[in-house]
Structure 1
């Protein structure tokens, strides 16, 4: 038993010393002033896919090789190492810096593409802020402008399409959120906000894939906005819903959503008829009519006038 423990202890000691020896060898090279040897070791580590250690040496060498012939190759692999480590923010900066510094390099096209591609990889989920998505689209389009005949331009165009689809998803989701919030009384303005947001999204994305759904949602939002308004405002607001329904019917004559659009149009007309009938009765009693006007004015004062962007 003792002999087995002794052998195990000896084995662990040998392994520990071996690891320590490897570490000290790396540290020795890292602290060395022999830049040629350090560069050779950095490339060896890179080729062995030990990117974490290679990065340490490349970062040190990038300063010491500035202005030297070897700097081009070194900075190229430095950027690639960052990419391999999934540090896309720093990688895209290094790729762009390389392309700007060495515009005639055999790696220039690749680096300009990789800089844009890193923006694409850094593009967040549709629910988050899309600043990087817009930057990715601009960078990919710039690459296409620089290298329109490159095979990579095909991939760049594909990624632009995917990014625009993401922006469309966000625009549709954000606009629909106002409708989902809904509400009566002063909160009915959410429906009005939904109409504005949906129309703005269509201006921003004229070919948006959600066109039919959004057009129908505009009718529904305007209808709910009218339905939740005081009768004194309903006729005009229901008429707007009817106008949107007519636009839908003309734009999407074969749509599966057509029955719902027609139903909303009919419901809006019924709403107008009921509002007119109600107001005709109320106008006979000036006290009630005045009270209705005051309630309507009070509700409007609670509704924000800030336009939806």
Structure 2
């Protein structure tokens, strides 16, 4: 009985607290006094109630432009968007803060959080990567500008993650060219070119081994489906791709498939030699 009464009392007190808090917030929204809004907005911000805080900061931000408190208001306003997961607007507001207060003590953090906002917006690799590109650009600016920052490692990790995501998109596009080439052989030329570019542009990529292998595969398909006069040179080209794969990755995960391709190359080139020797 005592526990039940205690539970009811706790719920009642909590409900009253919510009611008072709600009334306080609603009154502040309608109040014309900027200082009242400012004090309550900062209170909500410190308590982690970013949804209410950002609404109040939104109302008062224009009133503080050019005033000493303006810098503080604009940073809290942007950060309230970030902490409530509204990354499009936090990115935009941090950009405004950076332009408005280039000498601020909070500048470094604003640059970092602005970049992180776009990092959070980066979609999965198969979708348009505009936000990924923007995030990478901003992260790289932060990394180059603040190498001693406490946020440096985190920014570097995010940049690496996004770089790998973009590389995955590139390799998947190249693999798609290769797949389409099974039905439309001229597309294999585009697949080989795309994989060539990937290998030269991404020397440290986790997908580089895949690129070497799929370039070899595309070259074999192209050679097999070329007119007879073009086959020798294209098998020779495939041979150089096989050798490049084995030189770069002697213990490649594609070893068995690569060896099968090489057997095919040797067999076809031997046929050419036999024909020429007759």
Shorter chain as denominator, the TM-score bin is 0.7 to 0.9
Q: What does the per-residue CA deviation read over 1:112-166, in whole Å, with 9 as the maximum and x for residues that have no partner?
A: 1111111211111111122222221221121122222112112211211111111
Residue of structure 1 in register with 2:9 after alignment = none
> Which aligned segments of 4 or more residues in structure 1 are displaced greater than 4 angstroms?
16-25, 272-279
Q: How does 1:1-309 map to 2 (within 5 A)?
A: 25-184=24-183, 187-272=184-269
RMSD of the TM alignment (CA)?
2.8
Query: Which structure has the larger Rg?
Result: 1
Stretches of structure 2 that go unaligned for 5 or more consecutive residues are 1-14
Q: What does the per-residue CA deviation read over 1:37-87, in whole Å, with 9 as the maximum and x for residues that have no partner?
A: 111121222233332222221111001111111112111110111012211
Stretches of structure 1 that go unaligned for 5 or more consecutive residues are 1-15, 280-309
Farther off after superposition, 228-237 or 107-116? 228-237
- Between the two proteins, the alignment pairs up a number of residues equal to 263
Contact 2:88 2:117 in 1 (8 A): yes
Higher relative contact order (CA 8 A, sep 6+): 1
TM-score (normalizing by structure 1): 0.75
CA displacement at 1:19 relative to structure 2: 7.9
TM-score (normalizing by structure 2): 0.83
CA displacement at 1:219 relative to structure 2: 1.2
CA distance in 2 between counterparts of 1:17 and 1:140 reads 46
